[in-house]
Amino acid sequence: MMGLFLFLCSVFIVALVVAFLYTLFNKWGLWEYLQIHADAWLEKITKKDTDILNRLFSCTFCTTWWLTVLVCLISLTFTGELFFLLVPFCSTPISRFLL
């Protein structure tokens, strides 16, 4: 019972942190900057014309998913709790709703 409570609390806390980070990065203009410049960096590395990163940073669901994964991996590193591997699946729709 305590494990389920801890999992649900972690889901909501991660969703709130991701919603805050997404809003902050949006205010700073990070998403627009990455939409414009990230594909140029990838083209220099791969020598291929691509727009995958532009589409990735244009998609709110994709950016919240990857932010949630990043926050959960950092949390997993510091706490060692393996349930953080399942948190992105439950937390991403909540953080999307908060935006």
31-35, 39-43, 54-58: range with lowest mean pLDDT: 39-43
- How far apart (Å, rounded) are the C-alpha atoms in residues 92 and 63? 10
Would you say the pTM of this structure is higher than 0.75? yes
- Do the Cβ atoms of 39 and 51 come closer than 8 Å? yes
50 phi and psi, to 5 degrees?
-145, 155
**pLDDT digits 0-9 by tens, 48-96:** 777 777 788 788 888 999 999 999 999 999 998 888 899 999 998 898 8
Report the phi/psi class of residue 59: left, alpha or beta, with left for phi > 0 and alpha for psi in -120 to 50: beta
